[in-house]
């Protein structure tokens, strides 16, 4: 084995030892901290279109192919919006007949108000969007703020907040929280406009993301906001949520001038899942009464508490060891290519055994030792078994590569482990993107490539265990590397504190979550909150893992239940409590 790979493995060994539209200006926009909004693009959605499903209904969302566009190289804003809503519903919800999303979704007419917002001190803007249903009652105003899950675009929480809020007349304020799908083509110098179409940086037109760093790679590939904004957006997810609330209130005030639309008169509930769940918990920390209640589902949250671990910490360890450890686990959920995953696991065990970090010879013994190491680190049996999902879909590596760049505030082309992102040609070499590919990144992307024709490019791939050099480098950034201080500092900026006193908060988490394990995130957060005197219920949902959308795979659908219905039940519970504070928040999820 080459010497550089050996050094990476030695660093990782530390872990083994540890165990219809118009743009109108925002007349009330200000330039104070947390309150900078650009021009608003307003659109009307009625008749064959609507706010909740863009007119697709449940049957259209279940369709296996996305809504068509007339000109693939230049889709209209309306076509892009419809595809974005289709894509985000399918990426988040359990759309099976009889599944978590139900068998019907109402058509909700109304208007949308989209803008770019910028936090004080941020290099790049984030998207905010208010959906205002026609049934909104200004005499009894309700605003739900919903940050996107994962690194998704501004519609990335539509399946979380939309079906609960919009039919009951609540407005919904969304934010991509400084991540999203505004990919920038570094070769062509093209990014994404407010309306989702492709544009170039020009006077008077701000793109949603436009990196200003020079890139020496050829071809240069693509940059995306979560990895390359140089803002470490996760550190400010709470501020993004709060700015989205203020944006929503300002839009409502402009639309209903005869009514008071401020935090004292509008009921504001924050809800999010995954990264969005962590974002609403960060927003809950501030003592100003802007938000009335919070529901956090499966939150990626790094509490100031014993047992808490950051996503980067456990994701990089899982990326290194879990392929080997899974060989010691029986009956794990079947990924798309189980035989390939087993072969990769055997290669990973051998790599560690060859460097005397696992016993030589017996593969079963090696796998059991790798599994024992993960258990000593805090992974329980539920998280380990469901970890096969994240391992089989190569999520650990994709997440870690993005987050290493984000935490270190690295510019495009400066990844500390050499990763980059670009389309690939027939021979597997990076190439420039086509106009047709570029046109659909905003609508179809998830916010973290690979996907939608974009590959994660690892320059250090080896022959026997191809992903290990890159994964080993990512792991070393957390544990022992000259660049680790930048990553560690970025992670520390994401630490969560308890919610403000008296704020109703419910945390919902799947017991079988293998991507954001309960033991590293929600449990230590709730323990921290309770130690500070906050009564925060923790609803642990048996047989729920992290991805409701994955229940479409037959094996997953047989094993697991969706989490989103419990998140919506938690929203019901906080609404009842806000109506009558004498009714306590339930200590567990309804059956």
Q: Are residues 342 and 468 in the same domain?
A: yes
Q: From the DSSP assignment, how many helices (H) and strands (E) are in the chain?
A: 19, 19
Nearest to 297 by CA among 395, 150, 165: 150
In a domain, 437, yes or no: no
Measure the CA–CA gap between 447 and 443, rounded to whole angstroms. Answer: 10
Do 51 and 111 reside in the same domain of the chain?
yes
Same domain? 247 vs 341? no
pLDDT score recorded for residue 212:
77
Asked if residue 281 is part of any domain, the answer here is no
Q: How far apart are CA 107 and CA 167, in angstroms?
A: 8
Token readout for 498 is 């308890």
Residues 171, 189 within the same domain: yes
Residues 125, 255: one domain?
Answer: yes
**Domain identity same for 320 and 391:** yes
Rounded CA separation 180/522 (Å): 24
Residue 475 lies in a domain: yes
Domain check: are 254 and 320 in the same one? no
What are the residue ranges in the chain where pLDDT is below 70? 1-35, 203-204, 215-218, 481-483
Answer for the pair 590, 569: CB distance below 8 angstroms, yes or no. yes
CA 428 to mean position of chain CA atoms: 28
Residue 146 pairs in a beta bridge with 174
The pLDDT value given to residue 201 = 81
Closest of 371, 400, 402 to residue 388, by C-alpha: 371
Residue 404 maps to a domain: yes
Give catalytic residues, as residue numbers.
Answer: 274
Q: Final residue of a domain: which of 469, 492, 515?
A: 492
The whole domain housing 95 covers 21-210+233-269
Return the C-alpha torsion angle 409, 273, 171, 91, nearest 10. 90
In this structure, the answer to whether residues 322 and 399 fall within a common structural domain is yes
> What three-state secondary structure class fits 118?
strand
Domain stops at, among 468, 492, 516: 492
Q: Are residues 40 and 7 in the same domain?
A: no
For residue 580, what are its two tokens?
Answer: 């009558």
* Backbone torsions φ then ψ of 385, nearest 5 degrees: -65, -45
Q: Is residue 591 part of a domain?
A: no
pLDDT at 205: 73
Peptide bond before residue 425 is cis, with ω within 30 degrees of 0: no
Nearest to 142 by CA among 315, 279, 292, 313: 292
Question: Which three-class secondary structure state does DSSP give residue 322?
Answer: helix
What's the CA gap between 36 and 571, in Å, rounded? 29
Q: Which pLDDT tens digit goes with each residue over 115-174?
A: 999 999 999 999 999 999 999 999 999 999 999 999 999 999 999 999 999 999 999 999
Q: Measured between alpha carbons, how far is 20 from 516 in angstroms, rounded to an integer?
A: 40
Sign of CA dihedral 513, 517, 518, 521: negative
CB atoms within 10 A of CB 198: 22
Q: Residue 586, class by beta-carbon neighbours within 10 Å (0-12 exposed, 13-18 middle, 19+ buried)? A: middle
Task: Name the pairing type of β-strands 110-118 and 36-37.
Answer: antiparallel
In a shared domain, residues 167 and 124: yes
Q: Is residue 274 part of a domain?
A: no
**pLDDT for the residue 203:** 58
Query: How many domains does the chain contain in total?
Result: 2
Query: 272, 277, 253, 276: which is closest to 263 by C-alpha?
Result: 253
Task: Judge if 137 and 35 occupy the same domain.
Answer: yes
* 351 and 206 housed in the same domain: no
Phi, psi of 210, rounded to the nearest 5 degrees: -145, 95
Work out the number of other CB atoms within 10 angstroms of the CB of residue 69: 19
- Last residue of a domain, which of 492, 517, 543? 492
SS3 readout for 82-93: HHHHHHHHHHHC
The pLDDT tens digits for 509-552 are 999 999 999 999 999 999 999 999 999 999 999 999 999 999 99
- Any domain includes 279: no
Classify residue 326 as exposed, middle or buried by CB count within 10 Å of its CB (0-12, 13-18, 19+): buried
Residue 353 placed within a domain: yes
């Amino acid at each position: 084995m080459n010497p550089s790979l050996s050094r990476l493995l030695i660093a990782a060994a530390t872990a083994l030892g540890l165990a219809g539209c118009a743009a109108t200006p925002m007349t009330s926009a200000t330039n104070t901290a947390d309150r900078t909004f650009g021009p608003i693009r307003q659109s009307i959605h009625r008749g064959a279109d609507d706010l909740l499903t863009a007119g697709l209904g449940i049957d259209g969302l279940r369709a296996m192919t996305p809504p068509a566009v007339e000109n693939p190289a230049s889709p209209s804003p309306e076509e892009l919006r419809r595809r974005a809503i289709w894509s985000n519903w399918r990426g988040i919800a359990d759309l099976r007949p009889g599944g978590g999303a139900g068998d019907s979704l109402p058509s909700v007419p109304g208007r949308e108000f989209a803008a770019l917002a910028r936090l004080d001190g941020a290099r790049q803007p984030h998207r905010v969007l208010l959906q205002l249903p026609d049934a909104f009652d200004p005499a009894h105003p309700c605003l739900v703020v919903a940050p996107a899950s994962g690194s998704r675009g501004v519609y990335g929480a539509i399946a979380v907040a939309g079906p609960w809020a919009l039919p009951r007349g609540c407005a919904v304020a969304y934010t991509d929280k400084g991540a999203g799908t505004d990919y920038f083509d570094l070769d062509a110098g093209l990014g994404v406009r407010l309306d989702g179409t492709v544009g170039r940086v020009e006077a008077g037109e701000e793109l949603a993301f436009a990196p200003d760093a020079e890139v020496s790679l050829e071809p240069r590939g693509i940059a995306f906001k979560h990895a390359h904004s140089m803002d470490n957006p996760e550190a400010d997810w709470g501020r993004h949520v709060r700015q989205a609330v203020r944006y929503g209130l300002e839009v409502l005030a402009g639309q209903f001038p005869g009514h008071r639309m401020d935090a004292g008169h509008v009921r504001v509930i924050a809800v999010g899942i995954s990264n969005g769940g962590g974002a609403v918990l960060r927003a809950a920390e501030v003592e100003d009464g802007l938000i009335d209640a919070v529901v956090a589902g499966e939150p990626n949250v790094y509490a100031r508490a014993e047992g808490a671990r950051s996503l980067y910490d456990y994701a990089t360890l899982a990326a290194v060891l879990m392929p080997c450890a899974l060989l010691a686990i029986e009956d794990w959920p079947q990924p798309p290519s189980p035989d390939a995953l087993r072969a990769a696991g055997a290669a990973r065990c051998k790599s560690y055994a060859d460097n005397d970090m696992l016993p030589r010879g017996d593969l079963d013994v090696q796998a059991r030792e790798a599994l024992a190491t993960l258990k000593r680190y805090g992974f329980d049996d539920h998280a380990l078994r469901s970890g096969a999902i994240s391992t089989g879909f190569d999520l650990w590596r994709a997440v870690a590569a993005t987050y290493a760049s984000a935490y270190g505030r690295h510019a495009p082309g400066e990844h500390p482990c050499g990763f980059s992102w670009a389309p690939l040609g027939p021979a597997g070499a990076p190439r420039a993107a086509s106009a047709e590919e570029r046109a659909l990144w905003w609508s179809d992307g998830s916010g973290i490539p690979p996907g939608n024709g974009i590959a994660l490019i690892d320059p250090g791939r080896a022959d026997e265990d191809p992903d290990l050099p890159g994964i080993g480098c990512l792991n070393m950034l957390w544990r022992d590397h000259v660049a680790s201080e930048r990553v560690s500092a970025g992670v520390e900026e994401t630490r969560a504190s308890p919610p403000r006193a008296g704020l109703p908060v419910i945390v919902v988490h799947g017991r079988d979550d293998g991507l954001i394990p309960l033991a590293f995130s929600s449990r230590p957060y709730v323990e921290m909150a309770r130690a500070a005197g906050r009564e925060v219920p923790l609803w642990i949902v048996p047989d729920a893992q992290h991805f409701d959308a994955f229940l479409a795979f037959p094996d997953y659908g047989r094993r697991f239940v969706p989490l989103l219905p419990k998140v919506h039940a938690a929203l019901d519970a906080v609404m009842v409590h806000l109506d009558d504070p004498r009714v306590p928040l339930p200590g567990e999820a309804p059956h």
